[in-house]
C-alpha cells in the first residue's frame, strides 16, 4: 500500500485529492497547522474524514516538517499548503510569501536532509504568468507575476526546479489554471457568484457586487485537476506541467451562465463596485495543456459552462458529490 502525505488537506484540492488517493488504495495522511482544532469540513462533506490520518504541521517550521516526514514515511508528498487567495495576498503579502515560498522550501529541504525516496508535487499557479496578451501559456512561457500571491508561487516553482536539478529530487510543479468546485470558499469570486445567484433565485432581494467583469480566465473542474497531480508523480521522470482547459472566458460570461442556470437575467441583479478592483490584475489568462495531454494522458472534460452548472446544481441540492465526474 502506497502512502501519501497531503499538506493543505483542508482546502478544496486537498479534499478531492484525498478522496482520489483513497479510491486508489493509498494510505492517506493529511497535514494542517493545528489538526486538533481544525474541523476538516471539506473532508467531512466528502464523507472521508475518518479515513484520513490527520497530523499537525507548520510548513514554515523546518523541525515540524521533518518530524512529520519521519513519522509518516510517505511515498508521495503533495504540497497544497499556503495562503491561497490572490485578492487576500494584497492585504497579507508577508504571510502569503512566507507560507508559500518558505513552506515549500522547508518541505524539499526536509526531503533532501532526510534522504527518503519521496516523490514531491508542488502546487504552482497560472498567476505566475501574469498577462500573456491572450496567448495560451505553456511550460516555456516566462513568468511575470502581478500579485504577492503570484510572486510567492513563482519563487516556490523555482525552488522546486532548483532542488530537482541540484539534488536529483523527484519533484514536480503543476502550473494549474483556475479550477472550481462546490468546495470553493465563499471568498473566491466564482463561489460568491454562484451562491448569490441561487439566493436571489430563492427570493433574496440583494444585489451582487463585482469588480472588473472583463477579465478572462481558463476555468476547469477541480476533481479532474487533482487527477493530473497524481499522474505527474507516476511518471518515470519528474517534470512540470500546465494544467488547463485551453479555453478562456470572461467573468461576465461566468456570471451570465450562473444566473441563466437559475433562469435569471444577470443584468437585473449585478452591480459593478470600483472598490472591488485589485491594484493590479491579469486581463486574460489561458493555458495550453498540450504537454499534459501528450505525456500524462490527461485532458479536461468539463469546461466553464458545465463547471458553472455543476456548481449551481450542488448549491441548490446541498450536495458536493452527486454531480461529480467519475473519479478513482
Q: Considering 10, 125, 154, 248, which one is annotated as catalytic?
A: 125
Q: How many residues does the chain have?
A: 328
Q: Considering 78, 149, 225, 241, which one is annotated as catalytic?
A: 149
Of 43, 121, 32, 34, the C-alpha closest to 75 is 121
Whole-angstrom distance, CA of residue 213 vs CA of residue 254: 9
Whole-angstrom distance, CA of residue 253 vs CA of residue 255: 5
Q: Do 9 and 74 meet the contact criterion of CB atoms below 8 Å apart?
A: no
Respond yes or no: is residue 147 known to be catalytic: no
Q: Considering 10, 26, 78, 127, which one is annotated as catalytic?
A: 127
Strand partners for 73: none
Phi, psi angles (nearest 5°) of residue 122: -115, 130
Whole-angstrom distance, CA of residue 263 vs CA of residue 259: 6
Respond yes or no: is residue 127 known to be catalytic: yes
Whole-angstrom distance, CA of residue 56 vs CA of residue 68: 8
Whole-angstrom distance, CA of residue 206 vs CA of residue 25: 46
Half-sphere exposure of 232 (CA within 13 A, CB side): 29
Of 192, 178, 108, the C-alpha closest to 149 is 178
CA dihedral 200, 204, 207, 208 (to 10 degrees): -50
Which residue is listed with cell 494510505?
A: 27
Catalytic residues: 125, 127, 149
Amino acid at each position: 500500500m502506497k502512502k501519501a502525505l497531503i499538506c493543505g488537506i483542508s482546502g478544496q484540492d486537498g479534499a478531492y485529492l484525498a478522496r482520489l488517493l483513497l479510491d486508489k488504495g493509498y494510505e492517506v495522511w493529511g497535514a494542517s497547522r493545528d489538526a486538533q482544532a481544525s474541523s476538516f469540513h471539506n473532508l467531512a462533506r466528502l464523507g472521508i474524514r475518518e479515513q484520513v490520518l490527520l497530523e499537525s504541521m507548520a510548513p514554515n517550521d523546518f523541525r515540524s516538517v521533518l518530524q512529520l516526514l519521519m513519522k509518516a514515511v510517505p511515498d508521495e508528498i503533495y504540497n497544497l499548503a499556503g495562503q491561497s487567495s490572490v485578492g487576500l495576498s494584497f492585504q497579507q503579502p508577508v504571510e502569503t510569501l512566507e507560507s508559500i515560498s518558505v513552506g515549500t522550501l522547508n518541505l524539499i529541504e526536509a526531503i533532501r536532509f532526510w534522504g527518503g525516496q519521496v516523490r514531491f508535487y508542488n502546487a504552482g499557479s497560472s498567476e505566475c504568468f501574469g498577462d500573456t496578451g491572450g496567448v495560451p501559456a505553456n511550460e516555456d512561457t516566462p513568468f511575470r507575476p502581478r500579485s504577492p500571491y503570484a510572486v510567492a508561487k513563482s519563487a516556490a516553482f523555482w525552488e522546486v526546479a532548483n532542488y530537482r536539478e541540484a539534488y536529483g529530487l523527484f519533484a514536480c510543479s503543476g502550473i494549474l489554471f483556475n479550477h472550481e468546485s462546490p468546495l470553493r470558499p465563499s471568498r473566491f469570486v466564482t463561489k460568491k457568484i454562484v451562491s448569490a445567484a441561487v439566493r436571489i433565485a430563492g427570493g433574496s432581494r440583494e444585489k451582487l457586487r463585482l469588480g472588473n467583469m472583463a477579465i478572462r480566465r481558463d476555468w476547469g473542474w477541480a476533481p479532474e485537476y487533482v487527477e493530473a497531480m497524481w499522474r505527474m508523480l507516476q511518471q518515470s521522470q519528474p517534470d512540470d506541467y500546465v494544467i488547463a482547459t485551453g479555453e478562456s472566458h470572461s467573468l461576465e460570461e461566468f456570471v451570465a451562465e450562473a444566473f441563466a442556470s437559475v433562469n435569471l437575467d444577470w443584468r437585473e441583479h449585478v452591480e459593478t463596485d470600483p472598490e472591488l478592483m485589485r491594484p493590479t490584475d491579469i486581463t486574460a489568462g489561458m493555458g495550453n495543456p498540450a504537454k499534459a495531454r501528450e505525456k500524462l494522458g490527461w485532458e479536461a472534460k468539463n469546461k466553464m459552462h458545465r463547471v458553472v452548472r455543476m456548481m449551481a446544481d450542488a448549491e441548490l441540492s446541498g450536495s458536493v458529490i452527486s454531480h461529480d465526474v467519475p473519479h478513482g
